[in-house]
Structure 1
Amino acid sequence: MIADFTRGAGYALQGFRLVRRPGVTRYAILPLLINILIFGTGIWFGAAAFQDFLQWILPEWLDIWFVRALLWLIFAVGAALVSFYAFTLLANLVAAPFNGLLADRVERDLRGGRGDEGIQRGLMGEASASIGAEIRKLIYLAAWSLPLLLLFLIPGLNLVAPFLWLAFGAWMMALEYADCPLGNHGVTFREARGLIARRRGVALGFGTVIMGMTATPGLNLIAMPVAVCGATALYVGELSALVPRGHESATATKGRHRKGA
């Protein structure tokens, strides 16, 4: 399990190298700009609103640098949590079509320019398929988040709830980004969950690193394209061999578009 976890973390870190490869970087620019725009705008509005909130709530006798610094530290931690759950989902929803194109380019690069035959779609077809998959991920996230959050309210179980929540976060990061290369080969989100579960230790190692990046100010701005590249390396190294033979051709004859989960 430890070896699998370490290998998965290695795939995530490999994304830093892959995103800088010639021919790959230009496919990463749009996801990067979308990520920076959404995260930057959200943090800017949040900081401005928090500054106004401090002006309103702090009495003059308490308006000193130490108290302000402490409150800003609390805000930074809160912003990291909010950005992880809200901005990440929004950024991936908006950038989903471009992430699929980036995954396809990285896969071809990893396979020496040839790549497996994936589903060929135009940008509009890519957008429709990818956004549909993102909505299904949001439904899956909501379905599991509520019972996990309720564990925090149950005495005894609330002691393990934070660890379960972190494990679920890592699992969601693996599902989120591994779905990019898998989706390029006609694998539905439901099928992807089954495939990734067969490499659970690797997935958790990958997801833990990406989750840490997403929750770290600065690194969260580049996390999305790096994660897509790393997930594509994970697909080539671990998951592609698990996709049933003939799956792609069977999907192609049904209209060469991605089915719903």
Structure 2
Amino acid sequence: MPSNPASGALYMLRGIRLLMRPGLKRYVLIPLLVNIAVFGGGIWLGAAGFEHLMSQMQANIPNWLAWVEWLLWPLFLVAVLVIVFYSFTLVANLLAAPFNGLLAEKAERLITGQPVGDDMGWAKLLRELPATLGDEVRKLLYAVLWSLPFLILAFVVPVIGPLLWFLFTAWMLTLEYADFPMGNHGLKFRQMRATLRRRRLLSFGFGATTAALTAIPVVNFIVMPAAVAGATLMWVRDLHKVAADT
């Protein structure tokens, strides 16, 4: 596929269809349950926190400024949605990382018909658990450090700030999910970033579609396993060629 945003979006959508293939469903179960638990809790906490915040605002805003409340409602609602869904995406991926790596390995084998090095299996998954979680922590620190300036811009600079935040989120989600198939082939975090930068438009298309689906309640439950499958397809069809030249 050519390197453009539409192609990246298509990989993400094809990931949803790939989950339905025979032989893959059982590897989807644990990431799916983790995503449901984390996002279910995130939605509940976000709704409770938003309600408390608005009640505090109503108690402290003078009557003559009551009209401001109607302007702030949509702004705070968007802010809560962005922060909750982005934060809980990172948490869900951290918890499900070992199983996502296994899902990516099985998805690639299904796509290509070839094993990915040594068959990962459950025993290998347990052996590599500390290294996998260490990689996830490094990605999490990278995400947190870079999210701070973009988050500030999102609140301070109208229109441009939220747009930059969305693009940053798209980039981070692509990094997050592409890591699973690329990591199965021994690529380090720096190599992954270099590879994805060489397919920047493709990467942003994949990440933007993932971010948009993540913000849709109920649909977001299947986003994590679908994104892992979609990123694996993107690796097989496109990114592995780029990585070989990086």
User: For each residue in 1:153-181, what CA deviation from the matched residue of structure 2 results, as whole angstroms up to 9, or x when unmatched?
Assistant: 77xx6552222221111111110000000
Structure 2-normalised TM-score? 0.82
Equivalenced residue count is: 233
Distance 1:238 1:205 in 2: 14
Does the 8 Å CA contact 2:182/2:192 hold for their aligned counterparts?
yes
Cα distance, 1:219 vs structure 2: 1.3
Cα distance, 1:217 vs structure 2: 1.1
Cα distance, 1:124 vs structure 2: 2.1
1:82 matched to 2:83? The reply is yes
Structure 1-normalised TM-score? 0.78
* Runs of 4+ displaced beyond 4 Å: 48-59, 70-79, 118-121
RMSD: 3.1
Does the 8 Å CA contact 2:154/2:164 hold for their aligned counterparts?
no
Query: Counterpart of 1:213?
Result: 213
Amino acid at match of 1:228: V
Query: Counterpart of 1:255?
Result: none
Does the 8 Å CA contact 1:118/1:184 hold for their aligned counterparts?
no
Does the 8 Å CA contact 2:46/2:81 hold for their aligned counterparts?
no
1:175 matched to 2:175? The reply is yes
Query: Counterpart of 1:190?
Result: 190
Does the 8 Å CA contact 1:210/1:223 hold for their aligned counterparts?
yes
Distance 2:11 2:205 in 1: 9
Residue segments in structure 2 that go unaligned for 5+ positions in a row: 60-70
Does the 8 Å CA contact 2:170/2:206 hold for their aligned counterparts?
yes
Show the 5 A alignment for 1:33-44.
33-44=33-44
Q: Specify whether residues 242 and 35 from structure 1 end up closer, same or farther in structure 2 by C-alpha distance, changes over 3 A only.
A: same
Cα distance, 1:14 vs structure 2: 0.4
Amino acid at match of 1:225: P
**139-148 vs 228-237, greater mean Cα deviation:** 139-148
1:109 matched to 2:110? The reply is yes
Residue segments in structure 1 that go unaligned for 5+ positions in a row: 60-69, 248-261
Higher helix share: 2
Query: Counterpart of 2:66?
Result: none
Q: Specify whether residues 57 and 103 from structure 1 end up closer, same or farther in structure 2 by C-alpha distance, changes over 3 A only.
A: same
